[in-house]
Chains A and B, each alone.
Chain A
Amino acid sequence: MMENPFQRLGRFTLEAMQKLGRANFFMAHVLLGSVDLLLRPRLLISQMFFVGVMSVLIVAVSGLFVGMVLGLQGYNVLSDFGAEQTLGVMVAASLVRELGPVVTALLFSGRAGSALTAEIGLMKTTEQLAGMEMMAVDPLRRVVAPRFFAGVASMPLLAALFSMVGVMGGYFVGVGLLGVDDGAFWSQMVAKIDFYDDIVNGVIKSAVFGVVVTWIAVYEGYDAVPTAEGVSRATTRSVVYSAFAVLGWDFVLTAMMFGDH
């Protein structure tokens, strides 16, 4: 039976809403199960190693290059106005407010989110999750909750690392190569970057992205069709939806945080 475009839109919307509803029930269940983690911190720690520590290298290297590019581009524009002394402000503000949280979240979904989706999807495909259920072990508590909280805890730390390394990269290029004054670079930065407006807001952003990206990753894995093709699609969806969600939420959060000035 052929659907007309209107019917297709309706079906698509209904399916999307159902999926959103299931994802919310799923998350409620995971949050309820999080109490267990307080009693068994080992589960959380080992996942933080896989999700967080293993992402440090890619985040640090990317942060360094992004900061170096910011130094170069910023210098070119600012020197036209004779304002190259404020390069430190520009680099730090871009990183702390925007690039740190956003780029880290995108890298994080590619590095850790996709791995979480594939791992949980494969555990479902190979009946490991069903096997746990039959052993009276709730996979949402035992498998999903530690991974979710590991992701949520790791993201802000990784974003902070990204911004820090990025500032160093901007410093190497601006001060080391292009001859911006060392003292001006740092003192302007200290004077203009506000702890609450810039740093706290940036941390809030990265925490929100951490929840969004990890939630999408574990849910897509848990909801995957239990076949090889199903897991591959779920992994793709995990990365694509994460990118959309991060960029969309970035706009909303930016409007809320910086919209009034």
Chain B
Amino acid sequence: MTVSLSDDQVLVAIRDLVFFHGERKIFDGVDLRFQKGKVTAIMGPSGTGKTTLLKLIGGQLRPHRGRILVDGCDVHRLRATELYELRKRMGMLFQSGALLTDLSVFENVAFPLREHTRLPEPVIRKLVLMKLHAVGLRGARDLMPSQLSGGMARRVALARAIALDPMMILYDEPFTGQDPISMGVLVKLIRDLNRELGLTSIVVSHDVKETLTIADYVYLISGGKVVGEGTPETIAHSDSPWIRQFVHGDADGPVPFHYPAPDYRADLMAAGLGGSR
């Protein structure tokens, strides 16, 4: 819509985003741009609202100020039907997988196809098997979600997210709680799918090593602001003490080890009862 924000190379543009969670300010004037065909990562400590950001992009939450443009459409000015049309072109991978627990793996992947298309059953079957094959789980089609490991559930959810051939995928903490092998599988899948399907990927994560290997561009968010951005190399070799602490995982630094508290000695000597002050 506006020419300034949507040049051809940018699929998602976020400008001056302000969002409150109750009284707490999660985003305080954030500007982000996500390039078409690239993997862009959002990193930051837990509780910086990375998942919230994905929900804002998907239109599940409304910002208190600022605009979010996805493929030229202002997500929060669309009517409900237009928003749903836009969502058909986005896939989202939830941290939990969010598989429908009463449906088998096959039916989970078939779900968006059955809901949004009137394809005949043999076509649906072929499509589902192709998507499952892409994530390496064609053989697991008859299992129920409760029989899957965490990594497998995420791969099924990924197959489901690409079922409608979306233009982009939003990944919410794809590596959290994975063993090294499933971590490696997911890293490979995200990179390969992005390249082979011509997707645009937005990865939200705090797993530094894995994220830096797959991302083309990285934003670091902390305290509601963008505190660093650049290619993985510039982030890895940054001079900023905060970025260094985050990338190397140091216990103390600009982000203090201790939650803000009164003086230790005074606190211990205080003649209070219990934990109250």
A binding-site residues for B, Cβ under 8 Å: 123, 126-128, 130-138, 142
Tell me the chain B residues, 42-96 only, with Cβ under 8 Å from chain A. Answer: 55, 58, 60, 84-85, 87-88, 90-92, 94-96
Q: Is there an interface contact between A130 and B116, defined as CB atoms closer than 8 Å?
A: no
Q: Is there an interface contact between A130 and B112, defined as CB atoms closer than 8 Å?
A: no
Q: Shortest CB–CB separation between residue A117 and chain B, in angstroms?
A: 16
Q: Is there an interface contact between B87 and A128, defined as CB atoms closer than 8 Å?
A: no
Q: Is there an interface contact between B96 and A127, defined as CB atoms closer than 8 Å?
A: yes
Q: Is there an interface contact between B58 and A128, defined as CB atoms closer than 8 Å?
A: no
Q: Does B111 contact A (CB under 8 A)?
A: yes
Q: Is there an interface contact between A130 and B88, defined as CB atoms closer than 8 Å?
A: no
Docked CA distance A203–B116 (Å): 39
Known A-B contacts A134-B92, A135-B115, A136-B88; the reply to A128 vs B60 at CB < 8 A is: no
Interface size classification for chain B: 20 to 34
Q: Is there an interface contact between B92 and A131, defined as CB atoms closer than 8 Å?
A: yes
Q: Shortest CB–CB separation between residue B215 and chain A, in angstroms?
A: 22
Q: Is there an interface contact between A134 and B96, defined as CB atoms closer than 8 Å?
A: no
| Top 10 A-B residue pairs of the complex, sorted by shortest distance between their CB atoms | A131-B98, A136-B87, A127-B98, A134-B92, A136-B84, A136-B88, A135-B112, A127-B94, A137-B115, A127-B96
Q: Which of A123, A130, A134 has the most CB of B within 10 A?
A: A134
Q: Which residues of A contact B112 (CB under 8 A)?
A: 135-137
Q: Does B101 contact A (CB under 8 A)?
A: yes
Q: Does B100 contact A (CB under 8 A)?
A: yes
- 5 A–B pairs (Cβ distance < 8 Å), ordered by A: A127-B94, A127-B95, A127-B98, A134-B90, A135-B160
B binding-site residues for A, Cβ under 8 Å: 55, 58, 60, 84-85, 87-88, 90-92, 94-96, 98-101, 111-112, 115-116, 157, 160, 164
Q: Which residues of B contact A128 (CB under 8 A)?
A: 98-101
The listed residue (B84, B91, B98, B115) touching A142 by CB distance below 8 A is: B115
Docked CA distance A137–B114 (Å): 11
Known A-B contacts A135-B87, A135-B112, A136-B85; the reply to A130 vs B60 at CB < 8 A is: yes
Q: Is there an interface contact between B96 and A126, defined as CB atoms closer than 8 Å?
A: yes
Q: Shortest CB–CB separation between residue A28 and chain B, in angstroms?
A: 14
Q: Which residues of A contact B92 (CB under 8 A)?
A: 131, 134
Q: Is there an interface contact between A134 and B60, defined as CB atoms closer than 8 Å?
A: yes
Q: Is there an interface contact between B84 and A130, defined as CB atoms closer than 8 Å?
A: no
Q: Which of A126, A136, A137, A138 has the most CB of B within 10 A?
A: A136
Q: Is there an interface contact between B96 and A135, defined as CB atoms closer than 8 Å?
A: no
Q: Shortest CB–CB separation between residue B208 and chain A, in angstroms?
A: 25
Q: Is there an interface contact between B98 and A126, defined as CB atoms closer than 8 Å?
A: yes
Q: Known pairs A136-B87, A138-B84. 9 more at Cβ < 8 A?
A: A123-B101, A127-B96, A128-B99, A131-B100, A132-B100, A133-B87, A134-B87, A135-B164, A136-B116
Q: Shortest CB–CB separation between residue A191 and chain B, in angstroms?
A: 50
Docked CA distance A130–B170 (Å): 14
Q: Shortest CB–CB separation between residue B128 and chain A, in angstroms?
A: 14
Q: Shortest CB–CB separation between residue B116 and chain A, in angstroms?
A: 7
